[in-house]
Structures are given as C-alpha cells and as structure tokens.
Amino acid sequence: MADTLSQAAPTTISEDETRTYDPASDVVEQANVTAYMHEKGFKTFDELYTWSIENSEAFWTDMANRLEWYTPWEKVLDDSEAPFYKWFTGAQFNIIHNAVDRHLKTWRRNKQALIWEGEDGSYRTFSYLAVNREISKFANILKSMGVQQGDIVSIYLPRIPELMFAMLACAKIGAAHSVIYGGFSVEALAERMTDAQSKVLITADGGWLRGKIVPLKQTANEAMARTPNVQTCIVVKRTGQDVSMESGRDYWYHELLTLPIASPKCETVPVDAEHPLYILYTSGTTGKPKGVLHVHAGYAVGISATFNMTFDIKEEDRWWCAADPGWVTGHSYIVYAPLIEGATSFMYEGAPNYPYPNRWWALIEKYSINILYTAPTAIRGLMRFGDAWPNRHDLSSLRLLGSVGEPINPEAWRWYHKVIGKEQCPIMDTWWQTETGSFMITPNPTTPLKPGSGTRAFLGIIADVVDETGKSLGANEDGLLVIKKPWPSMMRTILHNPERYANQYWKSEPAGMYTAGDSARKDEDGYFWVIGRIDDVIKVSGYRLGTAEVESALVSHSSVAEAAVIGLDHEVKGTAIHAFVILREGKEGNSALEEELKAHVGHEMGPIAKPEKISIVTTLPKTRSGKIMRRVLKAQALGQDPGDVSTLE
C-alpha cells in the first residue's frame, strides 16, 4: 500500500504565475478584520490600514483594550530612550491572567484549551481549568525550588503538553523562560544555559521522533557538565528508558507532583508591563546566538491582535500550528496567542510522515482541524509523496491555511491551496521574525493573494524596501526590508548586549529604522516579495542557523583547523549546509572523516545543523583582513563567476 501510494506523482499545476486569488465573499463577510473595519467606520481595508498607521497609538490602544489589565497604562509608547522603546508603561499586567485566569470566569473554563497527540498515538486533552491546575502545580514546584521573579529557567523538552505548562508556569510567577529547541544538542544547549545563567533546567528522559527515542536527558547531562550554574534539573517522564539521574540535582516531575508543594492553587503575580517574559536564542551574523528578550504586555497585545485578524480565529475553531514550541512560531502561536484568544489548540508530538506520509492528513480528519499553520519545507516534504495520501482523507473541516519561516515557492503554494485546501482556503503567508514577536507582513482572509508573496504590512505596521541610505525604492527594485515605526511585540534588547541590539537593528545603515536582515522587493501593487537573508543566517528546513555556529562546531573537532559553511538550494529543506574544511597538519581527509565530522556537528549542535556535504580543502578564500568570503565559495560550488575578488587575499 505504502509503495503504490508513494509512487503517485503530485498534481502538476501549471497555472499562470501571476494569477491573483481573490477571497470568496462569504469569507470576507465573516472575517474578524471586516467586523473591526465596520466598527471603525471604514468601507475598505485600505482605509482602515491608512488610519492604523497614521494613528498607530490609537490602533494599538484598541488592541490593548481587548485584554485585561490589573492597572491601566500611563503611556502607550515611551520613546524617550529609543531604540529601547517601551509600551504601555506604568501598567500592571500578566500574560497568564489573559491566557488562562480570565477564561476561568466564563464558560470557557470547560472549553478544550489543548488537544495533544503523541507520535505513538497516545492522546491527552486539557480544558482551560485543567491547564490552570497543571501550571499552578508546576509554578508551585518551581517556587519551592527557589525560582524567583527575574530568574531565567531553561526548558529543553519534546513537543509534549508539559512544554507549554512549564513556559506558562514561569510566566505566572514572573520568572522568564528560555526554551531550547529539543532538536538542539550538547553545545547549543550548554551555551544557551550559560548565557542565561539558569539555575534550573526542565527536561525529559526523551522524546519520540520517527519511532525512535531522542535522548534528551543524556544530552542534558552532558550539557550540565559544561554548565555549573544549573543546580536543579526537573525531569518529565515521557519515553521511560533508563536515564542517569544525579541525586540532589535531578528530580522526576511525576514524583514532585505527589508532594504537598505541588498545590493546584497559585496566584498569578501582577508584573510591570515591561517585565521580561522570555529569552529566545536566535542566530545572527557573528559568533554566539543572541538572547532575544520579549516582555509581558506589548508582546501579548501584538500576538493576540495578529492571531485574531490574520487567522480569523472563531470560538468554535480548532487551530493547529505545526511548528515546534521551541521556536518563536510556537511561542507566539502555539502557546500564548491561542490561549489569550480562548481558542482550542492542537499539538502533535512527532514527525509528519510517521508511520506513513498521511499522518498529518489523518490528524486533520480525526480532530476536525479548521486552520493549519506550517512551514514551506513541511509542505514540500509532504508534496513529494503525492496527492493520494491527502486524498484518502476528509480535509473538509479546513477553512484557512498558513505558511511561515521562509519564502514559499509558488509550486508548493499551489499544491497546498489545491490539494490540501481544495481551493476553498486562503493561505496566510506570514512574514516575521523571532525579533518581531508577531506578524509584520501578512495577508488577512480578505486579501487577494499572490502565491509566494506575504502581501502587505499588518495594521499599524509600516514596512518598506529601501536602499542603504534609507530611501524607499521603486516597484520591483531589490533592497532591504525595514519596519519604520516601533510596534508593541518588538524585541526589547539582546540579553547582556544592548549595544548589539541598538547597532544591528536600528543604527546600522539605513539608520533610524528597524532593519530585518532580509532582502525584498515590492511589486506595483505594493505586495512584498521576500528574497532571503542578507547576512550569514541559513534557513535549513525553516530553522534559523548561523554559519558561525556550525563553523564553531566543526572546528571543535580535533582534526579541523578551519571551516566555512554556506547554504545551497535544496528541494525539500529550502537550503542545505555545505561545509568547507581545512584539516590540521598530519590529518588525512577521507569519506570516513567526512561522516565523522557530520556526526560531530550533529552531536554538538543538533541533527538539523548536520552538513549535507563536506568538502576538504587546503585553502579558503579570505579578505586581506582574514574574513572568509562565503560569496566566493558559493559561486565556486555553483560553478559560477565569483564576481569582484579584488579584496581577496
């Protein structure tokens, strides 16, 4: 069966590349954004948008008024220390009050907040009341472990409900969380725990992926050996294999839950609007990953507004964001925004094609999912298996689709639209970043769509394409993607490195606006087309990796003297890593060593960072100041002219 189905080729869709997909009139009529437009007295979305950018504080005030505040703000935007902007200053707030507590006063207390399915088919659901109980117990355990306001708790868990509960528990007591993606490995974990100076780590014995155990506790043990600051480790039992536990440091979560400290009652702590909510590490141009800081109030306002208007969430919807909570997409649109909006979220633990390539489609049918939000790499990966897999399933519950993480190629867009959405579901191609917290460029269900374009800026957001002097470029000219005004869910700083935040995002050319690090163009309709990163960030399967991190993992191997990595196009991953390596004296290159180096990167960084290809070389193209010219390497790898090499040593 599997073989016959996997041989069926995907639909070939050869439509006119420039066709626009207009929304159906009933979709437009029922959209949340249409209701807001009428409420504000406008006739078209364009009028609403123009008002929202000319009166952005009034717009964000409307959005803030959708939430509950312990005490109101004095100022919507405080720009006195720009670019360290502050929002809703003077207010007392807690994101948990909005994500959980306020729903407990209404009928939603018995609504399903989370439906979870494990890769092994196990199944758990939690009402809002149940979520409250779980996070209160977790919060009390953390308090008894000495976690205080202002501490940063590291979390390294598989995609299980406890990941959500651990995050929410931290926020409830005013501690910040730092979630490290479960696909990362020893060095990546150790580096992030050290930078955050975490005293507590929450992990699991393991997680399930493609029927195999990902040995998280084993990796955590190795990482903790490099991180003396971690004094306590809470371990959730998921896979049940033997793991080594250090007495006095490691505690089983299920055992802690039986102790009197784990009371299901815990007050949510009111915090300042600008109180840290979380750190999320992301890759940048140089060296170490950056700890991006987000805060309680502005973040809550931005994510809930975008979620409501873009994904048009309705009370009866079942929402599935198939990202990992370990990345920003999961933070904003699995954990926080759906709960703030009182939605029902679905979470799935494992691989999309396990045990068969229909797993996702079967889940959509089984749970009657209404909105699916995923990444182009997943769509391309599943498209490869052909139409027969999705066609076996009833996908008619779907009404809206979404894409995020990298530009979606029009072919994958059309397949997603036709074969998954049956031409009934508008696709929300949302452009944003870890740093922006919420969508910046995105359609809403009323927007005419062009496959591959994120269309236009969200309400209150002024996006543009400019040259290095900050001058707006004309239609179809390539330039830098910038945001010209601050917005509430923006990052506040980089942990321990405010200068890097100010310089990299606001003061570098073009100065005075937020530079995203992407190149883009706008077409004659003002639609944005993102081309890709202009820095040394590589998006492998939508995951953001820095070339510097992968290079540093390579040179930590005893045979490697120098390394340079570049990204090359890949059919499913979008981009794959190609590494060039100079060996130490006396070391000999061969295929066994190449495999060993790939495995070494996997061990240090995580499987996603494993180079697709390793080339052992004797020199690397460098500038006279010693900077590796990756552009030249890339041109060579592609057999192209390397262009201007006058600065080459």
Give the residues lining the site for ligand WTA (CB under 6 A): 282, 327-329, 404-407, 429-434, 454, 516-518, 530, 533, 539, 544
Indicate the residue among 203 and 329 with the shorter CB distance to ligand WTA: 329
With a CB cutoff of 8 Å and minimum separation 6, the contacts of 245 are 235, 252
With a CB cutoff of 8 Å and minimum separation 6, the contacts of 258 are none
Question: What are the C-alpha distances in Å from 194 to residues 209, 218, 260?
Answer: 27, 18, 32
Shortest CB 481 distance to ligand WTA, Å:
8
The CA distance from 444 to 333, in Å, is 16
Question: What are the C-alpha distances in Å from 254 to residues 141, 173, 237, 239?
Answer: 11, 21, 7, 13
Contact (CB, 8 A) for 165 and 133: no
Contact (CB, 8 A) for 184 and 606: yes
β-strand partners of 176: 152
Indicate the residue among 482 and 597 with the shorter CB distance to ligand WTA: 482
β-strand partners of 532: 519
Contact (CB, 8 A) for 566 and 578: yes
Indicate the residue among 427 and 553 with the shorter CB distance to ligand WTA: 427
CA-derived radius of gyration, the chain: 24
Shortest CB 429 distance to ligand WTA, Å:
5
Give the pair of three-digit tokens for residue 435. Answer: 């740093």
Indicate the residue among 230 and 545 with the shorter CB distance to ligand WTA: 545
Shortest CB 464 distance to ligand WTA, Å:
15
The 3 state secondary structure assigned to 127-170 is EHHHHHHHHHHHHHHHHHCCCCCCCEEEEECCCCHHHHHHHHHH
Indicate the residue among 432 and 580 with the shorter CB distance to ligand WTA: 432
Q: Which residue is nearest to ligand WTA (CB)?
A: 434
The CA distance from 479 to 517, in Å, is 10
Pairing of β 200-204 and β 232-236: parallel
Shortest CB 607 distance to ligand WTA, Å:
17
Shortest CB 555 distance to ligand WTA, Å:
25
Indicate the residue among 125 and 519 with the shorter CB distance to ligand WTA: 519
Indicate the residue among 312 and 429 with the shorter CB distance to ligand WTA: 429
Indicate the residue among 406 and 411 with the shorter CB distance to ligand WTA: 406
H or E stretch at 533: strand 528-533
User: In which residue are the tokens 């689709």 written?
Assistant: 401
Q: Alpha carbon 240 to chain centroid distance?
A: 29
Shortest CB 619 distance to ligand WTA, Å:
31
The CA distance from 562 to 554, in Å, is 8
Contact (CB, 8 A) for 566 and 547: yes
Indicate the residue among 93 and 514 with the shorter CB distance to ligand WTA: 514
Shortest CB 453 distance to ligand WTA, Å:
9
Shortest CB 535 distance to ligand WTA, Å:
9
Indicate the residue among 117 and 429 with the shorter CB distance to ligand WTA: 429
Shortest CB 439 distance to ligand WTA, Å:
9
Shortest CB 327 distance to ligand WTA, Å:
6
